[in-house]
Amino acid sequence: MNWALKLEEVRKSYKENSQISHSLRRHMGVIGQFIVGMLPLAPKFVVKRIAGRYVAGSDIHSAITLMKEMHEENTCFTIDVLGEEITNLDEARFFVDEYSRVLDAIVKNEIDANISLKPTALGLLLNRDVAIENIKEILKKAAINDIFVRLDMEDHRVTQETIDIVLLMQEMGFENIGTVLQGRLFRTEEDIKKICTLLGPLSDFRICKGIYLEPQDISHTSYQDIVNATNDCIDVMLESGSYTAIASHDYPVINHSLDKLKELQMSFENDPRINSADSRVGKGSGYEFQFLLGVRGDLRRKLSAQGHLTRVYVPYGTKWYEYGIRRIRENPDIAWHATKTLLFPWTNRR
């Protein structure tokens, strides 16, 4: 058989196979969508099986066990105690105490991890002063242990307040704090520039697309516009010398970041930017890639094998049900993942 004939045969078989897998995936997708639609009616143990991919468990011990199990994956972590906007300040006290336990556990178990906090869970929308005191208390303990604190960014009601708290804490001398900015918001490029002017090389961002569907007068709403805006923000952050944590599972964002890092000649060991800070404890040289637990672990492991610092966002807590359902609903591909989790549990690697 000559090579042209062989090539044609291979091409034909590839086409047939990809049609089969496409059609199989489409059918599985329909089943999956049905499963997702039925989730609120499903027994909790079924939801737990699916949500279990995205949540470490209901207490800090499960999070520690998981991070130890992931040790050989050559990644580090940021820990999130699940829960968002609260209705009374006693609930905020719970989060302060729980984060204190998290910090103790990180130190005791020598885990390469920092923490992520939601300002509204600490009372920001109920009493700003109390929220600031709560954040300061956690920050102080983290600083003593050389642990970084990231303020997650919530919806536009608290964008400015969250940025202001970071600036205030830095003014008070805490250098171990940074926030998240969302590429979808029109204001973000300006925010980066303002923060960099005030904090210089101490500016430290997580950049993501933004999970909240914001009104169209303040944010991009189409997929491509959000990707383009997020990529522009990544460029501004990297060029400004700030520490840049790229939090996306999307190839166009990751590939753009890799190109930009190459252009700036940045790598895990090397940050030649003249306007950047010296590398800090638990950090890479100027940048890292961040992933949610359970999402595109294959891509994370590939980036890590290529020598990039990666970090997994590890949520845990008794609110795992709400978080798991949200993760499952927010992604169109999840129908497939949900189906796979239930029918082929052995493929369920995080």
Total residues binding ligand FAD (CB under 6 A): 25
Of 167, 84, 161, 78, residue with least CA distance to 118: 84
Query: In the complex with ligand FAD, which residue's Cβ is closer, 9 or 259?
Result: 259
Query: In the complex with ligand FAD, which residue's Cβ is closer, 108 or 180?
Result: 180
> Checking DSSP bridges between strand 76-81 and strand 243-247, what pairing results, if any?
unpaired
Gyration radius (Cα) of the chain, Å: 21
Query: In the complex with ligand FAD, which residue's Cβ is closer, 109 or 331?
Result: 331
Of 333, 279, 315, residue with least CA distance to 113: 315
Binding test (CB under 6 A) with ligand FAD, winner from 157, 333, 343, 344: 333
Interface characters, 90-129, with ligand FAD (x: CB under 6 A) = ----------------------------------------
Of 26-34, 119-127, 193-201, 290-298, the window that binds ligand FAD (rule: CB under 6 A) is 290-298
Q: Does 182 bind ligand FAD (CB under 6 A)?
A: yes
**Which strand (E) or helix (H) includes residue 117?**
strand 113-117
The answer to whether the CB of 270 falls within 8 A of the CB of 276 is no
Q: Does 350 bind ligand FAD (CB under 6 A)?
A: no
Give the ranges where the chain is alpha helix by DSSP (H): 3-38, 44-51, 60-69, 89-109, 128-144, 159-171, 188-199, 223-240, 251-263, 297-305, 320-330, 334-343
Residue for token pair 């492991």: 301
* β partners of residue 217: none
- The span from the CA of 300 to the CA of 306, in Å, is 10
Q: Does 220 bind ligand FAD (CB under 6 A)?
A: no
Of 10-18, 126-134, 206-214, 266-274, the window that binds ligand FAD (rule: CB under 6 A) is 206-214
Binding test (CB under 6 A) with ligand FAD, winner from 138, 292, 303, 309: 292
Q: Does 290 bind ligand FAD (CB under 6 A)?
A: yes
Interface characters, 10-39, with ligand FAD (x: CB under 6 A) = ------------------------------
Site residues (vs ligand FAD, CB under 6 A): 152-153, 180, 182, 208-212, 247-250, 253, 290-292, 295-296, 313, 327, 331, 333-334, 337
